[in-house]
Structure 1
Amino acid sequence: MDAPIEEFPPLKIKDIPQIETSNSEDVFQVIGAMVEQTKKSSALIFNTFSELEEPDLPKLHNQFPMPTFTIGPFHKFFSASTTSLLTQDMNSISFLDKQKPKSVLYVSFGSVASMDAQKLQEVALGLANSKQPFLWAIRPGLVHGSEWIETLPNELLETISKQGYVVKWAPQQEVLSHFAIGGFWTHSGWNSTLESICEGVPMICSSFFGDQMVNSRYVSDVWKIGIKLEKGLERDEIENAIRRLMVEREGDEMRERIMCLKEKIDVCLNPGGSSYQSLEKLVDFITSFRSSIA
């Protein structure tokens, strides 16, 4: 599983998205049909910025030779609060206001990922053993067969309540931009990855499915702005990764690299920047396309 995929460096075999259903063959056929239909599109719009994914975008153009427009990050154009799937606990910000700069690890595995009770306990033990303050968003339904965190032993709940703060859902963009946040433990969904880069917050990556494995590999091995948990959710690796990110020099180096990417985002969104120009070209393309069919 750790063997490299020669055609797609830096990916490894285990980074290939898995589809584990009773009708996996049908699902693959659907995905194949989606790709073929995409090749018939007039153009493609990507939620990214060109400076982040060079030289991969030109390679993609070999397979999809239509015009492409990189106009992201999308969330920088509007507030995500109006699109939140769950009620945001604003006490998260009150908790962070009392913490030291860059001292808190924010933990959230998104709105879809799930795990069993044993894995939740491994996460809790890794956080507790790290001795680092944290803000942990545990979505109702995150744990199979559980309403929330009732599967955690009372003694462990007491330990983590003294060390960190647990909520059901947090205002992620506000949290990531807060002065107290020094790292983000994420499921590596693309939206969360971009949001973390935009705020200059290095990551710990726990991918669950789909594109998350590829995203986390790029975070750790290409952009070098985070740590990928290669063994899954195991307390010892979790504790080690948290210390590397939050305490050791390695984390400072990641923070410096991601701040450089943050600066590039700020430039690309301004007049003359790559995303700004790409958006202007998209408007011109749509206008000319509509004129040609009028």
Structure 2
Amino acid sequence: MDNTIAGKVINGRRLVLLPLPLQGHLSPMLQLANILHSTGFSITILHTLFNSPNPSNYLHFTFLPIPGTCEVNFSDIDKDKVVSLLFYINSKFLDPVRECLVRLMSEDDGVACLITDAQWFGTQSVADGLKLPRIVHRTSSISSFLLFAKSPALLDTGCFRQGIDEERKSETLVQGLEPLKVKDLPKFLTSEPEGVCKVLELMAKATKRAQALIWNTFKELEERDLEVLSQDFPNPHFLIGPFHKYFPASSSSLLTPDETSLSWLDKHPPNSVIYVSFGSLVKIEESRFLEIAWGLANSKQPFLWVVRPGSIEGSGWLEPLPDEFLEIIVEGRGYIVKWAPQQDVLAHRATGCFWTHNGWNSTLESICEGVPMICSPSFGDQLPNARYVSDVWKIGVELEHGFEREEIESAINRVLVDEEGLEFRNRINNIKGKVDICLKRGGSSYSSLEDLVDFILSF
């Protein structure tokens, strides 16, 4: 694919990118860095010392660690700690970030622009003080950002009141955010609703003050939601995704993928295997873990299952699995790994279904490879993403009742065996075809990237 931006005189102007130190945020920011580097920009990655990227995977970038950020140990971050992390880094780390930027701006190359994750909302004041243009990269879908931006107002309606199961399961549509339902509102808000809404409010305000927004999505998928968002966020919007399709898969994983996943897949016929992975943060109760196991076993379909060590509450890894289930693994119908090379797994001919937590990176990767989904969202943007998969794009099903083996077995059959699964596959392959077009010269993402380069050169 030709990604050259013709006729632009960039001359290695330096961009500084600041990712959030979580896997789902770090990967797309490094992919964005690769895209911008390919157009001629020089890239400096400003990063924390915890969950830091591996510079040896990106020899064409300069990496600058933020001093003092090793004092934080977020090696076991889960959904309940994310809010604390965001408040912490946006208060304690702003002075070190400012010092790094001042140093970089004083060098001969200077800094053309600062590009940060939207959750680094405190850096807007830093950029303003330095008279440095800041562009926000939002790592979620546009549809979920619409929800996040409205969260403070929704809090006043009582939608996020803690401990009310009826509301958390409510099928009532959220006014102004249809087709989202009350039960699609981010669940982590129920543990600390005021704190999370404050984070989202600060993120939205800082985003509105930024020079522009960069999205890892494409026009043909979210054009309607972009029109709605632009009413409240009139900033320039650059939809240049899917990022990971610009180049062959490169590793930005904080975990080591097990490449034997691919050789195991080689033994199976096309579209026959269900791939199961719930991302890098989700933790599961042992009872739910066993329901997943028996749902997979009872479906009689081959499965590749990612089980992160420590992701099952109270267990190191696979200890809760009974011997009867482990026999299925020995027989070869199932394969369990600690982490998988996901992009390669989804692109493999044998993969016929992706059972996912619906983080945006995973959802987009599945769309790009034409793999229908079973959705088990947990928190954050995963819930609205799952609703769009099942009800808007209609390229998968959501497990509406959590983890119950009968529903799991039924969902697997719906996607892999029944005629409905063929309809899912046809729809998602139609969207996949649009991905291929949008990235080519003259396509929507290609053109948006050209516009982004022009925009940065105007500073």
Structure 2-normalised TM-score?
0.61
The answer for the alignment partner of 2:395 in structure 1 is 225
Pick one of 243, 267, 278 that aligns with 1:109. Answer: 278
* Counterpart Cα distance in 2 of 1:208 and 1:73: 23
How much does 1:84 deviate? Answer: 1.3
The answer for the alignment partner of 2:414 in structure 1 is 244
| Structure 2: gaps spanning 5 or more residues | 1-169
How much does 1:81 deviate? Answer: 3.8
How much does 1:34 deviate? Answer: 1.3
Three-state SS of the structure 1 residue aligned to 2:424 is: helix
Pick one of 278, 282, 293 that aligns with 2:448. Answer: 278
**In the alignment, structure 1 residue 192 sits paired with structure 2 residue 375:** no
Q: Which has the higher contact order (CA 8 A, sep 6+)?
A: 1
Letter in 2 for 1:12: K
Taking the TM superposition and a 5 Å limit, the aligned residue runs for 1:112-151 are 112-151=281-320
Indicate how the Cα distance of structure 1 residues 275 and 16 shifts in structure 2: closer, same or farther if over 3 A, else same. same
Once the two structures are superposed, what CA deviation does each residue of 1:224-247 show, in whole Å capped at 9, x if it has no partner? 001111101111100000000000
RMSD after superposition:
1.3
How much does 1:21 deviate? Answer: 7.0
* Counterpart Cα distance in 2 of 1:282 and 1:112: 32
Indicate how the Cα distance of structure 1 residues 92 and 3 shifts in structure 2: closer, same or farther if over 3 A, else same. same
How much does 1:23 deviate? Answer: 4.6
Letter in 2 for 1:258: I
Letter in 2 for 1:33: L
How much does 1:54 deviate? Answer: 2.2
Letter in 2 for 1:102: N
The answer for the alignment partner of 1:52 in structure 2 is 221
The answer for the alignment partner of 1:64 in structure 2 is 233
Higher alpha-carbon Rg: 2
* Counterpart Cα distance in 2 of 1:46 and 1:247: 35
* Counterpart Cα distance in 1 of 2:372 and 2:223: 20
Three-state SS of the structure 2 residue aligned to 1:19 is: helix
* Counterpart Cα distance in 1 of 2:373 and 2:420: 12
* Counterpart Cα distance in 1 of 2:187 and 2:243: 27
**In the alignment, structure 1 residue 25 sits paired with structure 2 residue 191:** no
**In the alignment, structure 1 residue 41 sits paired with structure 2 residue 207:** no
> Number of residue pairs matched?
289
The answer for the alignment partner of 2:138 in structure 1 is none
* Counterpart Cα distance in 2 of 1:8 and 1:264: 25
| Structure 1: gaps spanning 5 or more residues | none
Letter in 2 for 1:85: L
* Counterpart Cα distance in 2 of 1:109 and 1:172: 11
* Counterpart Cα distance in 1 of 2:341 and 2:442: 31
Indicate how the Cα distance of structure 1 residues 198 and 36 shifts in structure 2: closer, same or farther if over 3 A, else same. same
Letter in 2 for 1:273: G
**Range with bigger deviation, 157-166 or 240-249:** 157-166
Once the two structures are superposed, what CA deviation does each residue of 1:255-275 show, in whole Å capped at 9, x if it has no partner? 001001111000000000000
Structure 1-normalised TM-score?
0.95
* Counterpart Cα distance in 2 of 1:240 and 1:262: 26
Q: Which runs of 4+ in 1 moved over 4 A?
A: 20-23
The answer for the alignment partner of 1:154 in structure 2 is 323
Letter in 1 for 2:302: P
Three-state SS of the structure 2 residue aligned to 1:136 is: strand
* Counterpart Cα distance in 2 of 1:215 and 1:21: 19
How much does 1:79 deviate? Answer: 4.4
* Counterpart Cα distance in 2 of 1:102 and 1:284: 42
Once the two structures are superposed, what CA deviation does each residue of 1:42-68 show, in whole Å capped at 9, x if it has no partner? 111111000001211110000101110
Indicate how the Cα distance of structure 1 residues 12 and 103 shifts in structure 2: closer, same or farther if over 3 A, else same. same
The answer for the alignment partner of 1:168 in structure 2 is 338
Three-state SS of the structure 2 residue aligned to 1:144 is: coil
Letter in 1 for 2:232: Q
* Counterpart Cα distance in 2 of 1:283 and 1:91: 40
How much does 1:145 deviate? Answer: 2.1
Give yes or no for contact 2:187–2:378 (8 Å, CA) kept in 1: no
**In the alignment, structure 1 residue 86 sits paired with structure 2 residue 287:** no
Give yes or no for contact 2:189–2:197 (8 Å, CA) kept in 1: no
How much does 1:70 deviate? Answer: 0.2
How much does 1:6 deviate? Answer: 3.0
How much does 1:25 deviate? Answer: 1.7
* Counterpart Cα distance in 2 of 1:227 and 1:281: 36
Give yes or no for contact 1:124–1:160 (8 Å, CA) kept in 2: no
* Counterpart Cα distance in 1 of 2:250 and 2:308: 16
Give yes or no for contact 1:133–1:164 (8 Å, CA) kept in 2: yes
Letter in 1 for 2:410: N
Three-state SS of the structure 2 residue aligned to 1:54 is: helix
The answer for the alignment partner of 1:268 in structure 2 is 438
